[in-house]
């Protein structure tokens, strides 16, 4: 174990230096490194805006520029992506000006089996040009109604699993059982941390969900039984390289969004380390993010 940790520390120090160099690079290079358009990376790295839940939109945009990460899973938290149409339009202007791509919205909770409530949330995503809804805790009985809106709006619906505490969706495999015979735009956002805490093998889950995987939230844990053991990606037990290899093998074209849920008032050290580690893993696989 001591040798493994020493090697990890060495890798992290190297890639953190590389991340710092990338942060000083020109913006076009950053955009190329984090957007599918013209992206040489086979794994598209993004950010879940919940990571910066204690910071406003302007601060979050500043952090993303420092990170050279320009792909966002935006959430209605603080002023990141408000549900109000006028305020949402202001947010979209800010993201566009910063060169940030909103590829998903959520987690959005679907707690009402009502057309008006569901339509309001699909309209929210349509206005933003977002193609994936990351959904929390829709009751299984509401899925046929939601499926009608998926077909109408042509927006993919990705149910987010929340681990053993979730009364409905512990694991991505629970999601797959519910949507497996529905429209192919009904699928899953795999949260790798909650997946392992549910006792599900994360590699097996990715493979089984397959084409119904529309987004991924990545984090790391030092103890797969403990939600409180979250650390920066690379400091725990998550098999990051195997996850990336599996995604590449299945030609996954969605995003892997960092969702860093600890140190809410001072997340940047862990966030920087997480992206540096993931970029380092990809570089070690022969996919450098800049050069």
Pairing of strands 213-218, 230-231: unpaired
Place of tokens 């997480």: 274
Provide the pLDDT for residue 40.
63
Cα torsion angle, 259, 220, 37, 13, sign: positive
CA distance 102 to 70: 9
Give the mean pLDDT of 206-212. 98
16 in Cβ contact with 225 (< 8 Å): no
Mean per-residue pLDDT of the chain: 89
Instruction: Give the residue among 98, 53, 78 at the shortest CA–CA distance from 267.
Output: 53
Give the mean pLDDT of 55-77. 97
pLDDT digits (tens, 9 = 90+) for 87-99: 999 999 999 999 9
Provide the pLDDT for residue 36.
40
Provide the pLDDT for residue 27.
32
Alpha carbon of 101 to those of 61, 83, 96, 130, 281: distances in Å?
A: 11, 18, 7, 9, 24
pLDDT digits (tens, 9 = 90+) for 28-44: 333 333 444 335 689 99
Percent of the chain scoring above 70 in pLDDT: 85
In sequence order, the 6+-apart residues with CB closer than 8 A to the CB of 75 are 48, 49, 50, 53, 81, 105, 106, 107, 108
258 in Cβ contact with 276 (< 8 Å): no
Provide the pLDDT for residue 288.
82
CATH 3.20.20.150 holds for 2-284: yes
Least confident range from 29-38, 209-218, 222-231: namely: 29-38
């Amino acid at each position: 174990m001591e040798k493994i940790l020493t090697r990890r520390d060495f890798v992290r120090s190297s890639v953190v230096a590389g991340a710092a160099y990338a942060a000083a690079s020109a913006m076009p290079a950053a955009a190329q490194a984090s957007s599918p358009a013209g992206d040489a990376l086979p794994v598209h790295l993004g950010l879940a805006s919940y990571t910066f839940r204690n910071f406003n939109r302007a601060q979050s945009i500043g952090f993303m520029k420092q990170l050279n990460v320009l792909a966002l899973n935006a959430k209605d938290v603080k002023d990141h992506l408000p549900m109000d149409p006028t305020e949402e339009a202001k947010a979209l202007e800010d993201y566009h000006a910063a060169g940030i791509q909103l590829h998903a919205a959520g987690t959005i909770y679907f707690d009402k089996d009502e057309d008006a409530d569901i339509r309001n949330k699909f309209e929210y995503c349509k206005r933003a040009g977002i193609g994936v809804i990351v959904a929390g805790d829709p009751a299984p009985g509401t899925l046929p109604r939601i499926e009608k809106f998926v077909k109408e709006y042509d927006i993919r619906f990705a149910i987010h699993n929340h681990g053993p505490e979730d009364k409905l969706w512990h694991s991505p495999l629970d999601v797959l059982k519910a949507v497996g015979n529905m429209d192919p735009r009904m699928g899953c956002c795999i949260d790798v941390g909650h997946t392992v805490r549910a006792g599900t093998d994360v590699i097996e889950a990715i493979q089984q969900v397959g084409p119904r995987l529309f987004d991924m939230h990545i984090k790391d844990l030092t103890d797969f039984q403990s939600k409180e053991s979250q650390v920066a990606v690379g400091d725990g037990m998550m098999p990051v390289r195997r996850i990336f290899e599996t995604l590449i093998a299945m030609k996954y074209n969605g995003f892997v969004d960092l969702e860093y849920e600890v140190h809410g008032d001072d997340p940047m050290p862990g966030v920087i380390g997480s992206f540096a580690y993931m970029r380092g893993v990809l570089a070690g696989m022969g996919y450098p993010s800049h050069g």
